[in-house]
Amino acid sequence: MPVPLPPRKQRPGASERLWRGMLHAVRDPSMPRHFSHIGERDRAVEAIHARRVVDLVLRVCEMGLAAGSPASDVTGYGVRVADAYGATANIDITSTSVTVSQAGTDFEDPVTSVRIVQLRTQDYQRLALLERLVTDIIDGKLGVEAARERLAAIAHASHAYRPWVVTVAMAVLGASVATVLGGGWREIVAAFLVTALVDASVGLFGRLGWSLFFAQAGGAAIATLAALGLMVGNDWIPWLLGISPSLVVASGIVSLLTGLSLVASSRDALDGFHVTAAAGLLEVVVATGGIVVGIMSALWLGILVGIPLYLADVPGRTIPVVVGLTAAGLMALAIGVGAQVRPRGLVPFFLLGALAWLVNTGALALLDERIPATAMAAAAVGAVAQLGHTRWRMPVVALVTAGVIPLLPGLTLYRGLYGLLQDVEDGGTVGAPGVLLTALLIAVAISLGTSLGTQAVRPLTRSLALPRRADAG
């Protein structure tokens, strides 16, 4: 008896094909990333493997947050690591804690772990090693156990430099600030010495257990007292005659502003991590408030003891382009040393610092407006950092944070605070509110400019950050 053939499938008619084409053109077949994937893959993940992956993701996120990475990037690390090992991790990050959860199924219990981040620093060398680890995991080069061992090795790696080396680097930063502002060799030497004293004092305050506010206030007060000493010495020490105390204070203030997480906090705010961003920005406000209190307290002390205060004009010498590029590059390089970046990784920092000064100087000459010029320079730094971070094997946040150092408004902040103590009717010429507003707008321009630059070119690069466009669907 012959075997009957299966019935032939009826081809859809023209109207049905037209209807399917219209549905295909309207419907989006992609799955939203912000929902947990519920399917056979979750059931295939064994309970032990899931726990190991959750623990690895948790420790990766903890180290990234502690080393100074924005919460948006840290979340991206964790999501990509979990996805590489066939797990679905739900990650929640605040400024001091990381929570990672593996959703349960009909056959498995949910897995949730929490870690508290005790201290957040700027350790960009460790962060660079962490990003390389995440990249190797994504590329399938490491199993879970091998990744755990390598992560432990990164956690126990020693610092690249001793504290005195970092202090010397900060002193070079202070001297470079004085150079960029047009100071002479005496201002440069004074800025070098005062900035070294400020950095060493802030480090001592930290070891003594002082909070960030009082450590910043102490450092700012020391820089301002040094300026008061220069005001007194200008009258009877020939070597100090003509030195601008404002440049010395500005150098010390810039060294204090470098430790603030302005770039990371602004990235979190614009990427939708508002709780972490609010905490980070509040930390920036508290630290800047410490600088304000330190400067104002030292100036008031000078008034009480009868020191004739004055606001010396910035020399404003025109510096050659090569000198400006070199000084700005050294400023960014000093930040790299302070963040424990090893010598072979410091070249990109130098280049980005020089780029920021060059774009800012050119835009300022073209537009004659400081705020737009600062924003353009910050955007250029952000774009180049995003484009080159894979080749340079350095986190974007590290490159951007160092690159914008030549743009920080240290001198503007000091002049505004000094103006608050001046009586305009008795000869004061500084409009303090306007100057302080300028300093604030410069900080905003830096934040928005760097974020715009990185996001504009991010689709052109391989990024470990959380894919915000897919999440928005």
Residues 343 and 390 in one domain: yes
Report the range of poorest mean pLDDT among 200-204, 283-287, 300-304, 308-312. 308-312
Burial class (CB in 10 A: 0-12, 13-18, 19+), 41: exposed
pLDDT tens profile 7-45: 555 556 667 767 776 666 666 555 544 444 444 444 444
Query: How much is the pLDDT for 38?
Result: 41
Query: 422 CB contacts (<8 Å, ≥6 apart)?
Result: 311, 428, 429, 430, 432
Distance of alpha carbon 91 from the chain centroid: 21
∠ Cα 193 195 199 (to 5°) = 120
**Residue ending a domain, choose from 123, 155, 187:** 155
Query: How much is the pLDDT for 383?
Result: 92
What is the C-alpha to C-alpha distance for residues 389 and 471, in angstroms, rounded to an integer? 24
Percent of the chain with pLDDT over 90: 18
Q: Domain containing 127: what range? A: 41-155
Encode 122-152: b = buried (16+ Cβ within 10 Å), e = exposed: bbbbbbbbbbebbbebbeeebebeebbebbe
What is the C-alpha to C-alpha distance for residues 145 and 87, in angstroms, rounded to an integer? 15
- List the end-to-end C-alpha distance of the chain, in Å, as a whole number: 58
pLDDT tens profile 145-170: 888 899 899 988 888 888 899 999 99
Query: How much is the pLDDT for 251?
Result: 84
Residues 420 and 323 in one domain: yes
Query: How much is the pLDDT for 374?
Result: 92
pLDDT tens profile 346-359: 999 999 999 999 99
**Residue ending a domain, choose from 155, 176, 201:** 155
Total domains in the fold of the chain: 2
Contact 414, 250 (CB under 8 A): yes
Report the range of poorest mean pLDDT among 39-53, 184-198, 429-443. 39-53
Contact 114, 101 (CB under 8 A): no
Residue 470 located in a structural domain: no
Residues 420-442 have a mean pLDDT of 65
**Residue ending a domain, choose from 115, 133, 155:** 155
Q: Name the residue with tokens 């990249």.
A: 135
Residue 473 located in a structural domain: no
Pick the closest to residue 433 from 412, 416, 408, 411 (CA basis): 416
Percent of the chain with pLDDT over 70: 80
Structure tokens at 38: 């519920």
Backbone region of residue 307 per phi and psi (left: phi > 0; alpha: psi in -120 to 50; beta: other values): beta
Other CB atoms within 10 A of residue 438 CB: 18
Residues 121 and 212 in one domain: no
Residue 12 located in a structural domain: no
Residues 101 and 213 in one domain: no
Residues 312 and 367 in one domain: yes
∠ Cα 379 382 388 (to 5°) = 135
Contact 234, 312 (CB under 8 A): no
Query: How much is the pLDDT for 348?
Result: 93
Query: How much is the pLDDT for 41?
Result: 46
The pTM for the full model equals 0.80
What is the C-alpha to C-alpha distance for residues 424 and 180, in angstroms, rounded to an integer? 29
Looking at the predicted structure, is the pLDDT value of residue 429 above 60? Answer: no
